[in-house]
Amino acid sequence: MSAFSRFTPLIQSLPASVPFVGPEALERQHGRKIAARIGANESGFGPAPSVLLAIRQAAGDTWKYADPENHDLKQALARHLGTSPANIAIGEGIDGLLGQIVRLVVEAGAPVVTSLGGYPTFNYHVAGHGGRLVTVPYADDREDLEGLLAAVGRENAPLVYLANPDNPMGSWWPAERVVAFAQALPETTLLVLDEAYCETAPRDALPPIESLIDKPNVIRARTFSKAYGLAGARIGYTLSTPGTAQAFDKIRNHFGMSRIGVAAAIAALADQDYLKEVTLKIANSRQRIGRIAADSGLAPLPSATNFVAVDCGKDASYARAIVDRLMSDHGIFIRMPGVAPLNRCIRISTAPDAEMDLLAAALPEVIRSLAAT
């Protein structure tokens, strides 16, 4: 009997892969600790002190399962967003929710439209459920709304993915363009609008909640991983019509949330003063990354996220060399987009001044060393 005959043909056809090489793996590969963890778009500023207190208070109950209905978190989100708890579904970060959305919509061989070079975990879920990716190149470092719409029509696709603001480029579309895109889609096409970076975006980039909440073919996905500083807690949520939100109950892991994570998310929502403070720090750090890049002859791109994409002015090999040298020679972890022409860039996450100081010292040294080779 073949060692793999117990698996489905689909699973046998897929590579065993991790969409991202984690900083822990890099530490093992290089045999050194990371000095500046500025590559994974986490928040180096961390959660609010009030959230850390809530985590400590909830720790004693970690032996208990969390409420499978996520009642208290839904209520808190509904109050914060001005909507109904019935419009909200909770999941294990946006990554977990994306997998559930794909499972809800995609049958084997179904076309799924996304941007070439966009968030790879979405692609990972599509492949894992047997979908067929249809990709549209970026235009001027932004996701091409007209190109995505044309691909949906050409393929009669049941699902299209759009991140606004975008990962990996940090670019964004104004809210009115996003709403027009959603309204132009066929009713048979579900839009996944990934708004992971909504807290760091300008206000005019985010459609008002009421503008899309009644559209049954729109799901907005958000997270506590970025500005709220809770990436390791894995707390995400979606906004949609009640009927769409209720569909998650058919397939979700009803005990997938932790009591500590849920308590942290509720406390984070309650501390909006800290959110304002940390988003200001993120904005200041974006500006500093831009200065550090420009001082080394690189070109920072405009960003509405907690990272900055930096145009290195050459090809992917050069960008990769910068990424590798920063890690191997200085213990500084950053990342880069995966496909051309985006992979001419590197991507640097915002962080406190101590990490930025290390980057400011190391980046010009790396650029000089590459010029000498």
211, 312: one domain = no
39: containing domain? 18-46+273-371
81, 225: one domain = yes
300, 221: one domain = no
pLDDT of 265 > 90? The answer is yes
317, 192: one domain = no
Q: pLDDT tens across 134-176, in order?
A: 999 999 999 999 999 999 999 999 999 999 999 999 999 999 9
Q: Is residue 4 part of a domain?
A: no
The CA distance from 301 to 310, in Å, is 6
38, 86: one domain = no
Is residue 274 marked as binding?
A: no
139, 266: one domain = yes
Structure tokens that stand for 1 in this block: 């009997």
pLDDT of 2 > 60? The answer is no
pLDDT on residue 21: 87
279, 253: one domain = no
pLDDT of 107 > 70? The answer is yes
DSSP state letter for 139: B
The CA distance from 73 to 61, in Å, is 17
The CA distance from 248 to 236, in Å, is 13
94, 209: one domain = yes
Is residue 343 marked as binding?
A: no
| Cβ within 8 Å of residue 111, ≥6 positions away | 131, 132, 134, 155, 156, 157, 158
357, 300: one domain = yes
Q: What does the mean pLDDT of the chain come to? A: 96
pLDDT of 301 > 70? The answer is yes
Q: Which of 270, 290, 308 is the last residue of a domain?
A: 270
Query: 């002015």: which residue's tokens?
Result: 313
Q: pLDDT tens across 47-61, in order?
A: 999 999 999 999 999
263, 285: one domain = no
Q: Is residue 230 part of a domain?
A: yes
pLDDT on residue 3: 54
β-strand partners of 88: 239
Q: Domain tally for the chain?
A: 2
Is residue 225 marked as binding?
A: yes
Q: Is residue 1 part of a domain?
A: no
Query: What is the value of pTM for the model shown?
Result: 0.95
182, 295: one domain = no
CATH of the domain at 281: 3.90.1150.10
Is residue 94 marked as binding?
A: yes
pLDDT of 232 > 60? The answer is yes
Is residue 284 marked as binding?
A: no
Q: pLDDT tens across 339-367, in order?
A: 999 999 999 999 999 999 999 999 999 99
221, 334: one domain = no
Cβ neighbourhood burial of 293 (10 Å; 0-12, 13-18, 19+):
buried
pLDDT of 29 > 70? The answer is yes
Structure tokens that stand for 3 in this block: 């060692």
The mean per-residue pLDDT over the stretch 239-243 comes to 98
Q: Residue 1: which pLDDT band, with cuts at 50, 70 and 90?
A: very low
Helix (H, G, I), strand (E, B) or coil at 348: strand
Share of the chain above pLDDT 90, in %: 94
Q: Which of 219, 241, 270 is the last residue of a domain?
A: 270
